[in-house]
Amino acid sequence: MTEKPWDGRFDEKTDRRVEAFTASHQFDRRLYADDIEGSIAHCRMLAKSGIITGDEAATLAKGLGQIKTEIESGQFTFEDRLEDIHMHIEARLGEIVGDVAKKLHTARSRNDQVALDVRLFLRRTTQETIALLDTLRAVLVDLAEQHQDVVLPGYTHLQRAQPVLLAHHLLAYYEMLTRDRQRFGEVRERIDVMPLGAAALAGTTYPIDRHFTAKQLDFPRVSTNSMDTVADRDFILEYLAAASICMVHLSRLSEELVLWASAEFGFVELPDAFATGSSIMPQKKNPDVPELVRGKTGRVFGDLMAMLTLMKSLPLSYNRDMQEDKPLLFSSVDTLHGCLDIYAEMLPRLKFQRHTMAKAANQGFLNATDLADYLVTKGMPFRQAHGCAGQIVGFALANQKEIHELSLIELQQFSDLIEPDIFDQLTTEQMIARRSSYGGTSQDNVRAAIKAARQKPAS
Ligand code: ARG
């Protein structure tokens, strides 16, 4: 092989600095298996369509198989001169099988080849993402099941609002991850389109059979417009967008764990194996894992933003700018998978401090709404009941007591509708049990939600 495939047209050799600047093998070598799989399918299609012979296709496929082994055993050498993974494999194929290697690239361009490689990679990767999400979803359901009797304050505005079951709180994250799972499932469908045969941008003059290639690679659909095919990176954008939303969820969970692990909350103790100490302050146990998940979220958002910016001004069809898509995609995949994985390991080992949580749920007038609701059941209009309960809160505050610590006589100063049955209604347990509207935190609802989650692990 001459130094470069385009040497025929050029008088000068490529400057070494340009070779180093334009090379992508440092990162796109990660696509080697997909590139080889795609090339084998392509040469079989060429043979089937009578463009090369069956023997030639077999020789090419065998050589490609050998290259895969070489790369996997670390014998393969990469050099800037050969730019990307596609040219490395083609060049090595020439060394192994001789001149017939020059036929592999018939009716194909690196533009449709790279689109195929990334789609193959991302289709497989998205399945892994979904599997990791399912593992973490199952962890959350297990945790919910084990903590069905643990109560904590639910918050709005980070102010104690109403008591909820810890299981209900955990299942809120289960819901978020379930939507993430659905999103990745939808992204996967749009990844699953076979681009090869668009060639450089306009299709090819050879009598190729794109549907045959698709069938071999298990693609249910073939892309339609050849220009869109080589210009399209929506499927990467969509993966990054779904990854960003998923990271928002993980980051919110992280923020809660950081807060909950503080002495101020004291709701959770992190496992020693998943925390770090301070090099100077002996008393400290730091929540580094949740902090880093929260921190890494920025990286995934950044990858999405960079990818959007990369694409926004590109004229049709392929542009070399698009080579920059891969580091962004790989970085987000690794970050997301790393975070999902570590949380699946860490969450089962959290020690929730049920007494601290219960105490917090019992303090700070979390039963004020229930007091108002009580008055409504006794015939007072809600707005008036809200005002009356507010006055009682004010009175309790002034006397440094909780509502349920006031005597019946004290309560009755504010309304003669209040009777001894009020005290039962103001216990945390009753407050939770009575929130039995569909989706509410009642024990029965939560038990049913756990059961439902167990019955349909995937949706
Ligand atoms: N390394 C290139 C990329 O990732 C492959 C396609 C190059 N095509 C080209 N015409 N230079 O985008």
The CATH number covering residue 47 comes to 1.10.275.10
Same-domain status, 241 and 283: yes
| Mutation pick for ligand 1 pocket among 29, 84, 201, 230 (CB with most ligand atoms within 8 Å) | 84
pLDDT at 459: 52
Atom of ligand 1 minimally distant from the CA of 83 = 1
> Where does ligand 1 bind, in terms of residues with CB under 6 Å?
24, 28, 84, 110-111, 114, 320, 322-323
Same-domain status, 171 and 148: yes
Q: In this predicted model, what pLDDT tens digit does every residue of 182-237 receive, in sequence order? A: 999 999 999 999 999 999 999 999 999 999 999 999 999 999 999 999 999 999 99
Positions marked active-site: 157, 278
pLDDT at 106 over 50: yes
Domain boundary, last residue among 106, 140, 159: 106
pLDDT at 410 over 60: yes
Q: What is the pTM of this model?
A: 0.94
Same-domain status, 97 and 122: no
pLDDT at 457: 55
pLDDT at 243 over 90: yes
151, 432 Cβ separation under 8 angstroms:
yes
Same-domain status, 43 and 168: no
Average pLDDT over every residue of 343-366: 96
At residue 342's C-alpha, the angle toward residues 337 and 347, to 5°, is 130
pLDDT at 444 over 90: yes
Q: How far is the CA of 297 from the centre of ligand 1 (A)?
A: 29
Looking at the structure of the chain, the number of domains it has is 3
Domain boundary, last residue among 331, 359, 387: 359
Residue nearest to atom 11 of ligand 1 (CA): 320
pLDDT at 456: 77
Same-domain status, 235 and 126: yes
Domain boundary, last residue among 89, 106, 123: 106
Same-domain status, 138 and 174: yes
pLDDT at 278: 74
pLDDT at 279: 76
Enclosing domain of residue 62: 7-106
Same-domain status, 230 and 289: yes
Between 8-22, 84-98, 377-391, the lowest mean confidence (pLDDT) is in 8-22
pLDDT at 1: 40
Same-domain status, 393 and 336: no
pLDDT at 233: 98
The CATH number covering residue 375 comes to 1.10.40.30
| 290 is a domain residue | yes
| 245 is a domain residue | yes
Average pLDDT over every residue of 419-448: 95
pLDDT at 3 over 80: no
Same-domain status, 178 and 322: yes
| 444 is a domain residue | no
| 433 is a domain residue | no
Q: In this predicted model, what pLDDT tens digit does every residue of 124-181 receive, in sequence order? A: 999 999 999 999 999 999 999 999 999 999 999 999 999 999 999 999 999 999 999 9
296, 307 Cβ separation under 8 angstroms:
no
* Distance spanning both ends of the chain, measured CA to CA: 51
Atom of ligand 1 minimally distant from the CA of 320 = 12
| 205 is a domain residue | no
| 231 is a domain residue | yes
Same-domain status, 58 and 189: no
| 126 is a domain residue | yes
Same-domain status, 272 and 182: yes
Average pLDDT over every residue of 48-53: 98
Q: In this predicted model, what pLDDT tens digit does every residue of 23-38 receive, in sequence order? A: 999 999 999 999 999 9
| Mutation pick for ligand 1 pocket among 31, 110, 236 (CB with most ligand atoms within 8 Å) | 110
Q: In this predicted model, what pLDDT tens digit does every residue of 262-318 receive, in sequence order? A: 999 999 999 988 888 777 777 778 999 999 999 999 999 999 999 999 999 999 999
Q: How far is the CA of 448 from the centre of ligand 1 (A)?
A: 53
pLDDT at 7: 81
pLDDT at 12: 87
Q: How far is the CA of 111 from the centre of ligand 1 (A)?
A: 6
Same-domain status, 51 and 157: no
Give the model's confidence band at 458: pLDDT under 50 very low, under 70 low, under 90 confident, else very high. low
| Mutation pick for ligand 1 pocket among 114, 311, 330 (CB with most ligand atoms within 8 Å) | 114
CA-closest candidate to residue 207, choices 53, 49, 57: 49
Distance CA 157, CA 376 (A): 26
| 440 is a domain residue | no
